Structure 1
Amino acid sequence: MTIRSELRDDGVRVVTMDQPPVNALTVQGWFDLARVLDAAGADPATKVVVLRADGKGFNAGVDIKEMQNTTGFDALIGANKGCFAAFKAVYECAVPVIAAVHGFCLGGGVGLVGNSDVIVASDDAYFGVPEVNQGALGAATHLARLVPQHLMRTLYFTARTIPAADLVQHGSVYAVVPRDELDALALGLAAEIAAKDTRVIRAAKEALNGIDPVDVNTSYRFEQGFTMELNLMGVSDELRDDFAGTEKAKGQQ
């Protein structure tokens, strides 16, 4: 199963992404994640959500191979809508969402963590938005919630990544620990929040979203429009084909 959801006795719901080999979610996977998160927030028994992943890394974004193996724009439109739904579900979840990140967090992964309320990471974690390499745009909205504006632009234009330890300095990642301590850290923070009156915490989440200076949903949707333009121009297909060919060659080595 790509997305698992488990409610603990203390009211902490653990949502796990598990899509081998790199947690690059298919169109259906993004919609499944959105559905699970929406259901978590709607369940009065859920007090906090911990969003984590199994496997090599947290999330590698959309499944490029699925997109390239689908004729027309159905996969592109599906990925756009699925990512929008998943990012929105994180942001609008009625309870706090703690992202526990290990390994790589790329593209759509940054969309998820950028909309989370708390981020913790393992010492091997790194973040980046390589969309320009694949002829797409998106998640700058969420990257801008992790680093200052000019650093965001540098990372975005170059498709470089940034280690989790650097994000601690910017205040966006709460703490970095060895990978085998990551789940314990996330669950400990979640339990601390879950011990509060859930009526107050749910009100606090809504209040904090209400005073947010950026409308993340509108901002991200604006970015997606440029991705569609690049696809209509044929630029995105060329770059995705190059990417898919490079990945295939790596697999044969």
Structure 2
Amino acid sequence: MENNLIKTTIEDHVALITFDAPPVNAQSTAFMEELIAVFDELNATKGVRAIVMTGNGKCFSAGADIKSRSKQSDWAPGETYRHLRRAREVGFVIMEMNIPVIAAVNGPALGAGMGLAICSDIIVASKNAVFGLPEIDIGLMGGVRHTMRVFPIGLTRRMVLTGYRVPAEELYRRGLIEACVEPDELMETAMDMARTMASKSPTAIRLAKRALNTVETMGLKDGYRFEQNLTVEMSGTADSKEAMAAFLEKRPAVFSDD
């Protein structure tokens, strides 16, 4: 995989993705295409069981590359629609991963940058982090639907209509992110969580991700039935037998990546 704007390392079954597009990790076309490619490849990489993504420097991601957007009138015919498709897929490639994704938000996560965090499974943040949708101040629209999926309607409306930047501590107080820690504790907090996930059955994690992604938009009965069917599917696997044996024998389970 290319590691120009998106740096990737893998250790102990955990992939660490670091946005590296100084100064603010703005999302240019090259950034989005590389990020999509990295996530697609990690989704198919044997041995990767959890992912942590963060930003290099003081910013997680300031969102869209406004300098390139200002030249939109010079784009070739159809490029606007190709750009919008890329922008959608950057979020969905994270959401649709078979592997859990933790966003370790080290600084401002704005606009499309906040979108990357919102599309992850779990958000942990530094006390330096803020979350915002500044589109109304720069002549753009966007972010409403993804934000409303996670944040309360009132807070979403305030962010969209006023450009309010929410401190990470407020989001943690509201129960909307899973941790808000000192800056020097952020990566260890995220990596500890990722290593815990990586210790679980890879098969169970994949099925759990499928359940989480699917039942969100289903009714109660249909959603529960879907989960029950996944339980039946899981019970016939080698990982299920190993997990039960380890529980009964009071020992750590040992799972393969096959």
TM bucket (normalised to shorter chain) is 0.7 to 0.9
* Paired positions, count: 213
| Corresponding residue number in structure 2 for 1:27 | 29
Q: Is the 8 A contact 1:131 1:159 kept in 2?
A: yes
| Corresponding residue number in structure 1 for 2:48 | 46
How far is the alpha carbon of 1:210 from its aligned partner?
0.5
- Secondary structure of 1:113's counterpart equals helix
1:58 is aligned to 2:60: yes
Question: Runs of 4 or more off by more than 6 Å in structure 1?
Answer: none
| Corresponding residue number in structure 2 for 1:154 | 158
1:213 is aligned to 2:217: yes
CA distance in 2, matches of 1:144, 1:43: 32
Letter in 2 for 1:4: K
| Corresponding residue number in structure 2 for 1:204 | 208
| Corresponding residue number in structure 2 for 1:2 | 5
| Corresponding residue number in structure 1 for 2:189 | 185
- Secondary structure of 2:59's counterpart equals coil
Gaps of 5+ in 2: 219-258
TM-score where L is the length of structure 2: 0.79
Letter in 2 for 1:7: I
Task: Say which of 79, 83, 89 aligns to 2:87.
Answer: 83
CA distance in 2, matches of 1:117, 1:49: 10
CA distance in 2, matches of 1:38, 1:84: 15
1:191-234 Cα offsets, whole Å, 9 max, x none, are 001000111011100111001139xxxxxxxxxxxxxxxxxxxx
The structure with the largest alpha-carbon Rg is 2
CA distance in 2, matches of 1:201, 1:118: 14
Gaps of 5+ in 1: 215-253
Task: Say which of 105, 120, 123 aligns to 2:124.
Answer: 120
1:104 is aligned to 2:83: no
141-150 vs 98-107, which moves further = 141-150
Q: Is the 8 A contact 1:96 1:117 kept in 2?
A: yes
How far is the alpha carbon of 1:55 from its aligned partner?
1.2
Identity %: 35
Letter in 2 for 1:155: M
- Secondary structure of 1:191's counterpart equals helix
1:130 is aligned to 2:134: yes
1:26-54 Cα offsets, whole Å, 9 max, x none, are 11111110110111112131100101110
TM-score where L is the length of structure 1: 0.80
CA distance in 2, matches of 1:32, 1:104: 21
CA distance in 2, matches of 1:206, 1:146: 18
1:160-208 Cα offsets, whole Å, 9 max, x none, are 1101111112322101111111111100000001000111011100111
Cα distance change, pair 78–55 in 1 and its aligned pair in 2 (3 A): farther
* Greater length-normalized contact order (CA 8 Å, ≥ 6 residues apart): 1
